[in-house]
Amino acid sequence: MRPFRDLSPLLNPRAIAVVGASERPGSAGQLVLGNLKHLGYPGPVYAVHPRHEQVLGFPCYPDMASLPGPVDVAAVLLRAEKVLPALREAVEAGVRAAWVLASGFAEADEAGERRQAELARFAEQTGLLVCGPNCIGVANLLDRAAAYSVALSPATRAGTVSAVMQSGAVCLGIANAARFGFRYLISSGNEAVLDSADYIGYLAQDPHTHVIVAFLEGIRSPQKFVAAAWAAAEAGKPIIAVKVGRSEVARRTVQAHTGSLAGSDAVVDAVFRRLGVVRLDTLDELVETAVLFDACSLPAGDGVGLLSLSGGQIGLIADLAQELDLDFPHLSEHSKQALSEILPPYSPIANPLDAWGSGDLEESYPACVEVVARDENIDLLAVSRDTPTGVAEREVEQSLAVARAAVDAARQTGKPVAVFSNVSAGFQPDVQALLDAGGVPYLQGTSETLRALQAFVDYAGFRRRMGRARDVGPTSDGPSPADLDAWRDRLRHVEGTLSEVEGRRLLAAYGIPGPREAVAPSAEAAVAAADGIGYPVVLKILSPDIQHKTEIGGVRVGLGDAGAVRCAFQQVTAAAREHHPTARIEGVLVQEMVSGDDAVEVILGIMRDPSFGPVVLFGSGGILVELVQDSNLRLPPLSRREARAMIEETRGAWLLQGFRGRPPADVDALLDSLVRLSQLAADLGDLVAALDINPLMVLPAGQGVRAVDVLLEVAPADA
C-alpha cells in the first residue's frame, strides 16, 4: 500500500478540543459541541474559552495549555486573524490535527492569501494536519466523532460511504439527503494543507469505507490524486465524483492542433477513465449512483434487463439511453416463451419490457421480474415502479408486491437488482423498508437511474480489466526504439519545433511510416526528387518558421510532371516570402502523393498537460479537426484494447469501416500507429510540448498508414 498520510488524529480522534466553545444558539461553538452530544462521542471533549467553566455540560478551560489530558484534534472556531496563534498554542500542547472553520483566507483577498500561505508553512514545519480553512469540518459517523459546524440531521446515519467535498454547502446537502449511510463526512474547503488526494488516499486504506463520493472544484495535487485514486481502484473502492469545470476553455498556447484541442477538462476525463473514477454531471446523479454502488455487488457482465409498466416510459428510456452506452441484450428464447405465457398475446416481448399486460400488477409484473432476472443474457436488473409518499393504499399493496419480487430476484439469482421511480418524489415508507431489508436499492429519476446503471456496468468492466493489468496499468503494446537515448539528447537541443523531415524520422523510429520524400533546395533538385519518387507528387515549403503551410499557400498537390514541379516550387517559395518575409527558407519537401480517394484522414497527437503530463489524442483529421472537433484523449501508454476504444468513441469511426463504396480502411495498421505513438509519449512526453500527425492517411485494409504531415513542438527547457 502506498504511504499516504495517516489522518487518524483528525478523523478518528481519541480526544477533542473545541477552541471558541459557546452556548449561544446557532453559533459554531454551540453546534460543534451539540453534534458531539448528539453522536454520543465516547472520548474526552474539552471546551476552550477564557470566560466559562463549562459549556453545554462539557468542562471548559481558558487555553490549550490548561487541558488536563492529550488531545488529537482541535476544532478552531475563531476569526481568521486569530487562527494561527491558536494553532501555535495547539501544537505546543501536543495537538496533532486541527480543523479551521474561518473564511478570510485565500478565497478572500491578497491578505487572505498571505494568511493562508503562512498557515501552510506552519503546518509543514510542525507536521500539523489541518482541515480547511473555510469549511464545515469532518464527521466520523461510525465512531461518533465530529469536528463539524452544521447540526447533523437525525436522519444522517452511519454506513460505508465516505464523502470528500470541497464545497461545504454540497457536503451539507449530501449529508442531509441521508440516502445512504456515511463512514466519514469530510468538507475540505481551501485545502491549505490537506487536500482531496490526502483524504482519498487515507480512505483507500480504511476497511470501513466501501464507496467514496467526491465533489471537486479543482485537483490541487494531480500526481498525488493519481496515486490515491489508483490505490482506491486497487482496493476495489469506487470513486464517484462530480468535477466542475467542463465549461472552462483552458487551452494551451501552442501551434499544434493537438494543443488547441486538449483542454484541461478533457485531460481530467482521460485521467478519470484510466483510474476508473466515475465522473457524473449533477449531484442527483452522484446520489443515485452512490445508492446503487452502496447496496449492490458489481454485475458479472454488461447486460441490463429493464421492466416498466408503460410503453411511453420505455420510449423515454430509449431516448435517454441513446446518449449512453447501455446494453439491453435480447432475451433468450426460453425467457420469451415464459413471458408469452404471462402476458397477453398483444404484449410485445422485448428488453426493455413493457410488463403492463392486463394491469394485474400483483401477479403478472412480479412473474415477469422473475423471468427476466433469470435470463442468461441479463447481468443487472432494473425494475420501474413509481411509489411516492401519500399514494392510495391499493397502490402501496401493488408496489409491495413488486418490491417483494425484486428482493426475491436478487436473493435467488445473486444478480444486482434495483427498483427505480421515473420521478424524484420520495419513497413510500413501507416499500422503502421492504427494499432496504432485502438489500435492493430504490433509485429516483429516469435519467439519473440510467446514468447510475451506466456507471455501474462501466466500473464493473474496469474492475474485470484490472485482472489484466496491461489493459489498465502503465503498459503498452508498442516498443521503444533502440536509439531512444539519442532522440532524447536531440530533443534537448532543439528550440521551438523539430523540422518536419526529422519529425517523420522520429515517427519512423517508432514504426509509424510516412510517404517517400526528399528535400530539395532548388527547382531542379525538386524535379530530380520527383523523378525518383514517381509522379504525382506533393510539394511543401520547408521552413522551421512556418508551421501551418496550407494556410499560406505553401503546399501544392497532384503535381504530374517536371513542369508542374518547377512552377509549384516558385509558387510556394513566393507565398512563403510574402507571408513570412523573415522566415528561413530551406527549400521544399517533395513527397509521394498519397491518394485521398480511398484513404481516411485522421489525426494522432500528443500534448503535455501541465498537471498530468503527456496525453494522447485521436480524432477525425484534415480540416475536420477544427470543423467537427471529433476527438478524444487517453493517458499513455495504450494497449490495443484502449486504442480501439479511442477509435470507436469518435463519430468518424464509421468512415474506417467503408462508406458509399469505399473500401474498409486498415484499422489494424491504425491501431499499431496509435499504440506506438502512445509509447513515444511515454518515452519522450517530458520533452514534447505538442505533436500533430495531421493527417495520418489510413489506406485500405492491408495497405497501412502514412503520416503525411508532422508538427512536433519541443517543450521549453524550463517547462
Q: How many CB atoms lie within 10 A of CB 98?
A: 30
DSSP-derived secondary structure for 463-513: HHHTTSGGGTSS--SSPPPTTHHHHHHHHHT--SEE-HHHHHHHHHHTT--
Q: Which three cell numbers stand for residue 606?
A: 500528443
Q: What is the chain's length?
A: 719
Q: 3-state class of 153 per DSSP?
A: coil
pLDDT at position 477 is 60
pLDDT at position 2 is 58
pLDDT at position 260 is 44
pLDDT confidence bin for 66, thresholds 50/70/90:
very high
**Of the listed ranges 13-17, 324-328, 559-563, 652-656, the one predicted with least confidence:** 652-656
3-state secondary structure 504-563: HHHHHHCCCCCCCEEEECCHHHHHHHHHHHCCCEEEEECCCCCCCCHHHCCEEEEECCHH
DSSP-derived secondary structure for 116-151: HHHHHHHHHHHT-EEE-SSS-EEEETTTTEEEESSP
pLDDT at position 249 is 38
Q: How many CB atoms lie within 10 A of CB 545?
A: 13
Q: How many CB atoms lie within 10 A of CB 499?
A: 17
Q: Give the residue ranges of DSSP H helices in 580-693.
A: 624-628, 640-648, 667-684
Please list the residues that pair with 58 across neighbouring strands.
55
pLDDT at position 254 is 38
H or E, element range at 17:
strand 16-19
Tell me whether domains 8-237 and 297-466 share a fold. Answer: yes
The pLDDT of residue 250 is above 60: no
For helices 364-374 and 333-342, angle between their N-to-C axes, nearest 10 degrees = 180
Q: For the segment 697-709, what is each residue's pLDDT rounded down to a tens digit?
A: 999 999 999 999 8
Cis upstream peptide for 133 (omega within 30°): yes
In the chain, where are the structural domains located? 8-237, 297-466, 516-592, 600-714
Q: 3-state class of 75 per DSSP?
A: strand
H or E, element range at 447:
helix 446-465
Q: For the segment 75-111, what is each residue's pLDDT rounded down to a tens digit?
A: 999 999 999 999 999 999 999 999 999 999 999 899 9
More confidently predicted of 363 and 302? 302
Instruction: Indicate left, alpha or beta for 184 from its phi (over 0: left) and psi (-120 to 50: alpha).
Output: beta
Q: Which three cell numbers stand for residue 11?
A: 478523523
CA–CA dist 508, 212 (Å, integer): 45
More confidently predicted of 123 and 719? 123
The pLDDT of residue 385 is above 60: yes
- What is the pTM for the complete model shown? 0.90
Q: Give every CB contact of residue 326 below 8 A, 6+ residues apart in sequence.
A: 304, 450, 453, 454, 457
Residues 476 and 679 sit within 8 Å (Cβ to Cβ): yes
Q: 3-state class of 267 per DSSP?
A: helix
Residue 688 DSSP code: E
3-state secondary structure 312-339: HHHHHHHHHHCCCCCECCCCCHHHHHHH
pLDDT at position 469 is 53
pLDDT at position 473 is 44
Q: 3-state class of 684 per DSSP?
A: helix
Q: For the segment 596-606, what is each residue's pLDDT rounded down to a tens digit?
A: 778 999 999 99
Q: For the segment 158-186, what is each residue's pLDDT rounded down to a tens digit?
A: 999 999 999 999 999 999 999 999 999 99
More confidently predicted of 584 and 330? 330
CATH class (in words) of the domain with range 600-714: alpha beta
Q: Of the CATH numbers 3.10.690.10, 3.40.50.300, 3.40.50.720, 3.10.310.10, which one belongs to the domain with range 8-237?
A: 3.40.50.720
The pLDDT of residue 1 is above 70: no
Distance of CA 549 to the CA centre of its chain: 36
- Cβ contacts of 421-427, under 8 Å, gap ≥ 24: 421/384, 421/385, 421/386, 421/387, 421/388, 421/445, 422/313, 422/316, 422/384, 422/386, 422/446, 423/386, 423/388, 424/284, 424/448, 425/386, 425/388, 425/389, 426/388, 426/389, 427/387, 427/388, 427/389
pLDDT at position 257 is 40
Q: For the segment 514-545, what is each residue's pLDDT rounded down to a tens digit?
A: 999 999 999 999 999 999 999 999 999 998 88
Q: With b meaning 16 or more CB within 10 Å and e meaning fewer, what string describes 155-189?
A: ebeebbbbbbbbbbebbbebbeeebbebbbbbbbb
For the domain bounded by 297-466, which CATH number is listed?
Answer: 3.40.50.261
The pLDDT of residue 339 is above 80: yes
The pLDDT of residue 511 is above 70: yes
pLDDT at position 108 is 87
pLDDT at position 235 is 96
pLDDT at position 306 is 98
pLDDT at position 165 is 97
Residue with cell 515517427: 507
Q: What is the mean pLDDT of the chain?
A: 92
Q: Give the residue ranges of DSSP H helices in 152-204.
A: 168-177, 196-204
Average pLDDT over residues 579-594: 92
What's the angle, vertex CA 240, arms to CA 613 and CA 430, rounded to 5?
Answer: 175
Average pLDDT over residues 122-143: 97
For helices 667-684 and 484-492, angle between their N-to-C axes, nearest 10 degrees = 60
Average pLDDT over residues 228-249: 87
Percentage of residues in the chain having pLDDT higher than 90: 81
Q: With b meaning 16 or more CB within 10 Å and e meaning fewer, what string describes 33-51?
A: bbbbebbebebbbbbbbee
CA–CA dist 391, 427 (Å, integer): 10
Q: Which three cell numbers stand for residue 261?
A: 484541442
pLDDT confidence bin for 247, thresholds 50/70/90:
low
CA–CA dist 144, 601 (Å, integer): 61
pLDDT at position 658 is 83
pLDDT at position 202 is 98
Positive or negative: CA dihedral 588, 592, 595, 599: negative
Q: Give the residue ranges of DSSP H helices in 296-392.
A: 311-321, 333-342, 364-374
Q: For the segment 264-315, what is each residue's pLDDT rounded down to a tens digit?
A: 688 899 999 999 999 999 999 999 999 999 999 999 999 999 999 988 999 9
The pLDDT of residue 252 is above 50: no
pLDDT confidence bin for 622, thresholds 50/70/90:
low
Distance of CA 640 to the CA centre of its chain: 21
Q: For the segment 190-212, what is each residue's pLDDT rounded down to a tens digit?
A: 999 999 999 999 999 999 999 99
Please list the residues that pair with 613 across neighbouring strands.
609
Q: For the segment 464-484, what is each residue's pLDDT rounded down to a tens digit?
A: 998 765 444 444 566 899 999
- Among 182, 184, 183, 214, smallest CA distance to 196 is for 214
Distances (CA, A) of 244 to 135, 274, 278, 483, 513: 18, 19, 14, 43, 40
Q: For the segment 419-462, what is each residue's pLDDT rounded down to a tens digit?
A: 999 999 888 999 999 999 999 999 999 999 999 999 999 999 99
Amino acid making up residue 46: Y
Residue 6 DSSP code: -
pLDDT confidence bin for 251, thresholds 50/70/90:
very low
For the domain bounded by 516-592, which CATH number is listed?
Answer: 3.30.1490.20
Q: Give every CB contact of residue 468 below 8 A, 6+ residues apart in sequence.
A: none
Residues 281 and 651 sit within 8 Å (Cβ to Cβ): no
pLDDT confidence bin for 390, thresholds 50/70/90:
confident
Residue with cell 517547462: 719
Please list the residues that pair with 165 across neighbouring strands.
187, 215
Percentage of residues in the chain having pLDDT higher than 70: 94
Instruction: Indicate left, alpha or beta for 474 from its phi (over 0: left) and psi (-120 to 50: alpha).
Output: beta
